Amino acid sequence: MTIKEIAQQLNLSSGTVSKALNNAADISEETKKLVCEYAKKVGYRATKALGNRIALLYQFMQTNYQNQLFFSVSTAFSIAASNSEYEIVTDILANKDEKFDLNEYMDNNHFAGAFVLGVNFDSPVYSQLQNAKYPLVLLDMYIPFNPSISSVGGENTASIQQAIHYLKDMGHTKIGFLSGEQQSFVASERLAAYILSISSIGIKLNTDYIYYGDFTRECGAEAAKHFASTDVTAILCASDMMAIGLIDGLNRQGIRIPDDISVIGFDDLELLRYTQYDLTTLRQDFVKLGEAAFFQLHNLIKGKSSKRISIPCELIKRGTVRKLNETKSAPPRE
């Protein structure tokens, strides 16, 4: 009997059954007991063969932005993997000591491959990726020239370009950019896309319009102090969390959104969709990212060539961008 068949008999998802059999922390004890007792009853034995044991590895999970993004992507990855009868083991690489060796770790744990989230240029494991011997898929990180490594992420260049063109169409030419941490591949790519995009439509680069953050809400609030001293009319942010921090910070200084400054985020995090921010943003498809990560890892394990997969983002127009030639009166003071 397979995990899928057990799930059908117990009216549970394959992902829940897989987690219960692997003693995952986010499954109730009652469900674990139900699944394990039934699996024992029907004679199910988890496959420990090299080709069916994969890892879900987190390098860092330090911010709300990363927690929300990683949870959504890894959930989709785990469901796809469980449906294909893979055993999934989750671990946090940040807890490893300085002598940690990625190839040795993969070998000792009999992993056929791994999906790795949260790797930056300054991550301890980054220097080992070029010589990684096991199939790996990286989220929002690209390692060229290693045939064992694929990567998945949002289509940053086209997405940023779409947002910049939208702002230009709305009359904005003084467009700021709130970037993520400089050691982040995805932040660097989005910043490069911003520079390329404004140049392509004839807007001269003004370095005063760029602020380097760290993907947190707090840095967005700090960035508000910087942008308040400039003449920007719109700000494109490399993440939603920074965008809402920026909006809060600007509001505290009496700067109204979008009346005085328009703001666009990046991600469309579900926890922000129905809030008072009504944030215009670039929506990433986290389910597609997770599923693409699994199928890339599956293909690598089966001996297929590595790829870099970019999932298109969608511009979601809400209430934080206005057209410059439209005037809005200030709300009445109480």
In 3D space, the residue among 231, 169, 168 whose CA is nearest the CA of residue 203 turns out to be: 168
Q: Output the pLDDT for position 145.
A: 87
The answer to whether residues 6 and 35 touch, using CB atoms and an 8 Å cutoff, is: yes
Domain layout of the chain by residue ranges:
3-153+286-311, 156-285
Q: Output the pLDDT for position 334.
A: 32
CATH 3.40.50.2300 fits 3-153+286-311, yes or no: yes
CATH superfamily of 156-285: Response regulator (3.40.50.2300)
pLDDT averaged over consecutive 10-residue blocks of the chain (334 residues)? 81 78 74 87 61 86 64 93 92 79 90 93 90 94 92 97 97 97 93 97 96 93 96 97 96 96 95 86 96 96 92 96 71 35
In 3D space, the residue among 15, 54, 11, 56 whose CA is nearest the CA of residue 34 turns out to be: 11
pLDDT, tens only, 48-61: 444 689 999 988 65
Q: Output the pLDDT for position 98.
A: 73
Distances (CA, A) of 266 to 231, 238, 272, 281, 313: 22, 5, 11, 5, 9
Q: Output the pLDDT for position 49.
A: 41
Q: Output the pLDDT for position 47.
A: 47
Q: Output the pLDDT for position 199.
A: 96
The answer to whether residues 276 and 247 touch, using CB atoms and an 8 Å cutoff, is: no
The reply to whether 156-285 shares the fold of 3-153+286-311 is: yes
